[in-house]
Structure 1
Amino acid sequence: MTVDRILPTDEAHDLLDLATELADRELAPKAAGFEERAEFPREVLRTIGRAGLLGLPYAEEHGGAAQPYEVYLQVLEILASRWLAVAEAVSVHTLSCYPVAAFGTAEQRKLLPDMLGGELLGAYCLSEPQGGSDAAALSTRAVRDGDAYVVSGTKAWITHARVADFYNVFCRTGGPGPKGISCLVADAGTAGIAPQAAERTMGLRSSPVAQIAFEEARVPADRLVGGEGAGFTIAMSALDSGRLGIAACAVGLAQAALDYAVGYARERQQFGRSIIDFQGLGFLLADAATQISAARALTLAAARLRDAGRPYSIEAAKAKLFASDVAMRVTTDAVQVLGGAGYVSDHPVERYMREAKVLQIVEGTNQIQRLVISRALAKG
C-alpha cells in the first residue's frame, strides 16, 4: 500500500525515495536469512551510513543531514517496513550519538563524522539487571583515578552489545539518586569491558542483545560528557527522542504486516471469492489500516513539536505507547488473516508478530509510558 505523505521540502522527498530504493534493494531480500541465522548485518548498516541515512537529524557540520525529525522518522518507518532489526539499529545508533552531539565538548564532537557516517556503531548502556525502568537507581560506578574513570558494574539488555564500536555508559560518580549519575563515552575495545553471551530472543534475532560487564575498565576522563552529575538529564532527554524512533519502527512494522495480509486476502479464494470480500475479515483489515494511520499521525505530530523546539516528552510517550500497541494488534491480526499459513515461517507475518512484542518493552515499557502520561495529567 502506498502511503500518501506530505513532506516539507523536495530534499525530503528525495531522501524518502532513496530510503525506499535502498530498503528494497539491501534490506527486504536479506531480512529472512539474517534473522534465521541470527547474524548482525554490519555491512548493511555501513551502506546506510554511507548513503547519509544514519545522521539525518544531526547538524551538517558534524556529518549529519540537518533534517527535521519529521523526515527522519518517516525514513525509519520505511526501513522498518522491510526489516525491523535494521530500523531498530538505526534508531539505537541515532540515540547513541545524541549525548556527544547535544552535550559533548568540541573535542568529543570530532568523533561525530565517523559516528554519523556509519564507520563507528554505537550502543546505549543505561539498563541494569536489577534496574531497567528505575534508571535513577543504577549501581554501575565510575571512580576518578588520575586522568581516567575506573568503571565497575553490569549493564543489561544492551542492543549492539557485541558489535558496537563505542558505548554510552551511564554510571554513578556521586551519591544516590539522579544527581549522582554521569555519562562516559567508552571505546568498545577498552580493557575491562566484557560483553557477555548474546541473549536468545523471541524476535529481532539478527540484532544482538547482551549484558556488558565492566571490570575496572579505565575510560579516559576526557570522555566524560556534560560534566559529572549530568548523566540522568542526558539519558532522559535522549529517551524522549528514542521513543519517537521506536514509534516510527512500530508504524513501519504494522504497515508491512497489513500490506502482506491484504495481498494474501486478495489472492486467497474461499467459497468462490477472495476472502477480503468477506465482511468479517475486511472490517479487520479496515480497522488495522485506520489504527496505523492514527499511529503515524500521532508520531509525526510529536516530531513536529520537537522540530519546533516545543515540549514533546508527553507526546513522545503517547506515540510510543499507541504505535507499539497498534503494531502488536495488527501483526497478531495479520497472522489470523492468513490462518494456518500465518503460523508457519514460509510467510513473514509470524516473524512480524514476534518482533512487535519487543516494541512494547524497549525505550521504556508501555506501563512506564502510561505512568509518564498519567503523572502529567495529575499535575494539570
Structure 2
Amino acid sequence: MTVTDLPRTAWRPADLERAVSEVEAEAARYAEVCDREARFPAEALEAMRRTGLLGLLVPAEDGGPGGGTADLLAVSSRLSRTCMSVGMIFTMHCQQVAAVVRDGGPLRERLLPRIVRGELYLASVTTEAAGGGHLLSSGSQLTAGDDSTVRVDRFAPVVTGGSHADGFLITALAPDATSPSRLSLVYADRDQLTVTVRGGWNPMGMRATHSAPLHLAGEIPRDQVVGEHGAFRDIAVRTFAPLAHLGWAACWQGAADGALQRVVTLLRAERRRHDLDSPLLLARLSRVRQRLDTVHALITHTASVLASAEDTTSPPVQLLVNAVKLTASELCPAAADELTDLMGMRHGYLKDSPTGLERTLRDLRSAPLNYSNDRLHAADGVLALMDREVRHV
C-alpha cells in the first residue's frame, strides 16, 4: 500500500492493520542491529512514510486518516512490542502533529498535507541543558530578525530522532517575553535551519531513538508560531503533556506485553523443561499480568476522561494524567524484572534469548527518567493541595 492508495476520507480498520504490519515488519527486521549500534531505525521510518502512518492523527477533512487518541495508543503499543524505540519515535511525532492540528492556525494548510504524504517527520525540541525535560522553562529566546522573521538559536541535549527529522517544533522564550513563563512554540523546516549534532548517543536502552544533542540556528518566518507567542503553557497542558504521558505509557506497556508474550510462548514450547504447575511460576505470571492489566485500564480510563472532560486543566484531570505516567513507569519495568527472575540466567539475562528480556529491561529503565518521576510527584503534591474536594475522575 502506498500513500496514494489511502482513502481521502478515513481509513478502514484493514487499512490501518496493513500500515502497522508493514512498519512492524521493518522494526522487527532491524531491531537488534539498531540496538547494538545505537542506530536510528531509518527503515521503520521509511515504512511510516510509505504507508501514510505518519499522518494517522490528521483529520479526514484535511485529507488524513482521521485517527484519534485510541488509534495512536494502540499503534504505539503494538510497535513497542517489537521495538520500543520505534514505538516512541512514532508517538513523539504524533504528539507534534496533534499540536499542529489543534493550534497550528495557518500552518495547518502548509504542514498537514505534507505529513499525510509522508514527507514530514516532526521532532520535538523542548529539553534544556539546565532544565532537563521541564516543558515550561527555557534559557533560549526568539529574537527579532527583519520585519517578517524571528531568529532561532537553540541547543537541546535530547532530541528524539532529530538527526532524521524534516521539521521541528521548538520551544523558546517569546520575542517580547518579560517573564520566564512566556514560552512560544514555533515550527521550523530543516532547510530553514543549520542543524548541528553536538554529541553522541550511547545510552543503556532506547538506543535506536538516537536522541543526540542538537544545536539549531536560523531565521524563520514570524508566522510559523503554533498558537500564540508566549502561550505555550496552554499547548503543553492541553496537548503535549496528556499525549506524552498516554503515549509513553502505551509504549512501556507494549514493550512489557511483548516480553510477556514471548515468555509464555517459550514456556509452552519448552513445557518439558519447565514445571508449568509450579506455584512460584504461576504466581509470578499472575503478578506480571496484574501489573500490565492495571496499566492498560488506567490508560484507557484516562483517555476516556480527557475525551469527555469539560476542563482538562482541572487538578483532578491533571493528577489522573500524571498518574498514568507514574504508574506505567513503575509497573512496566517491574513486570519485566519479574519475568527476568522467572526465566533465570539463560532466558532472562542473556542477550541472545528469544525472549528479548535483556533489551526490554534496558529500554524500560528509561521510563522513570523520561520526565523525572521525582519532579512529577512534586507537581502532583501541589495539585493535590489545589484539589480541595479531593475529587476523582
Q: Please, what TM-score do these two structures have when normalized by structure 2?
A: 0.85
Greater per-residue strand proportion: 1
**Does the CA contact (< 8 Å) of 1:166 and 1:188 recur in 2?**
yes
CA distance in 1: counterparts of 2:273 and 2:194, whole angstroms = 64
Choose which of 347, 365, 368 in structure 2 pairs with 1:357.
365
1:278 aligned onto 2:278: yes
Is 1:15–1:75's contact at 8 Å kept on the other side of the alignment?
no
> Which letter does structure 2 place at the counterpart of 1:229?
G
Shift of 1:375: 2.8
Q: Cα distance 1:58–1:373, how it changes in 2: closer, same or farther (>3 A)?
A: farther
Instruction: Give the 5 Å matches for 1:101-112.
Output: 101-112=101-112
For 2:351, which of 320, 326, 345 is the aligned residue? 345
Note if 1:148 corresponds to 2:141. Answer: no
Q: CA deviation at 1:108?
A: 4.4
Aligned residues: 366
Any residues of structure 2 matched to 1:30-179 within 5 Å, and which? 30-146=30-146, 147-173=148-174, 174-178=177-181
Are residues 1:224 and 2:225 paired?
A: yes
The answer (yes or no) to whether the contact 1:137–1:176 under 8 Å persists in 2 is: no
Quote the Cα distance in structure 2 between the aligned partners of 1:99 and 1:303. Answer: 17
State the 1:315 CA deviation: 2.2
Cα-to-partner distance string for 1:224-279 (whole Å, 9 max, x where unaligned) = 2222111232233312211110011011011011112223333456xx76243221
Q: Which residue, out of 184, 187, 192, partners 2:186?
A: 184
1:90 to 1:116, Cα distance in 2 relative to 1, 3 A: farther
1:251 maps to which of 250, 253, 263: 253
Letter in 2 for 1:176: S
Contact 1:16 1:74 in 2 (8 A): no
CA shift at 1:65, angstroms? 2.1
Q: Deviations over 1:204-231 (max 9, x none)?
A: 222111222234x212212122221112
SS of corresponding position for 2:142: strand
Partners of 1:283 and 1:224 in 2: CA distance = 53
**Structure 1: tracts of 5 or more residues without a match:** 1-9
Counterpart of 2:4 in structure 1 is none
CA shift for structure 1 position 181:
1.0
| CA distance in structure 2 between the aligned counterparts of 1:325 and 1:120, rounded to whole angstroms | 34
Matches within 5 A, 1:190-339: 190-215=192-217, 217-237=218-238, 238-268=240-270, 274-310=274-310, 311=312, 312-339=317-344
Q: Is the CA contact (8 Å cut-off) linking 1:122 and 1:165 kept in structure 2?
A: yes
Deviations 1:332-368 (A, max 9, x none): 1222222112222102110000000122222x22223
Q: Which amino acid aligns with 1:177?
A: P
Moved more, 33-42 or 236-245: 33-42
Between 1:88-97 and 1:225-234, the stretch displaced more is: 225-234
Shift of residue 201, structure 1, vs aligned partner: 1.1
Amino acid at match of 2:257: Q
AA in 2 matched with 1:365: S
The alignment partner of 1:167 has SS state of strand
CA distance in 1, matches of 2:344, 2:203: 25
Measure the CA separation in 1 of the matches of 2:295 and 2:98.
25
In structure 2, how many angstroms separate the alpha carbons of the residues matched to 1:52 and 1:199?
Answer: 28
Moved more, 73-82 or 26-35: 26-35
Q: Is the 8 A contact 1:35 1:204 kept in 2?
A: yes
CA–CA distance in structure 2, aligned partners of residues 166 and 315 of structure 1 = 31
Superposition deviation, residue 67 in structure 1: 2.6
What secondary structure does 1:209 align onto?
A: coil
Tell me how far apart the structure 2 counterparts of residues 249 and 24 of structure 1 sit (CA, whole Å): 14
| Structure 2 SS opposite 1:222 | coil
Measure the CA separation in 1 of the matches of 2:320 and 2:179: 30
Whether 1:377 and 2:349 are equivalent positions in the alignment is no
1:377 counterpart letter in structure 2? A
Structure 1: distance between partners of 2:117 and 2:323: 31
SS of the equivalent of 2:164 reads coil
* Maintained 8 Å contact 1:328/1:356: yes
Deviation at residue 12 of structure 1 after TM alignment: 7.0
How far off is 1:24 after superposition? 5.0
**Structure 1 residues 214, 21: CA separation in 2 closer, same or farther (over 3 Å shift)?**
closer
Q: Mean alpha-carbon deviation: is it higher for 159-168 or for 223-232?
A: 223-232
| AA aligned opposite 1:212 | L
Partners in 1 of 2:382 and 2:16 — Cα distance? 37
2-structure distance, mates of 1:108, 1:68:
17
Among all aligned residue pairs of Structure 1 and Structure 2, give the percentage whose two residues are the same amino acid: 23
Pair 276,130 (structure 1): closer, same or farther in 2 beyond 3 Å: farther
Q: Structure 1: how far apart are the matches of 2:17 and 2:194?
A: 44
Q: Which secondary structure state, in structure 1, belongs to the residue aligned with residue 29 of structure 2? A: coil
SS at match of 1:203: coil
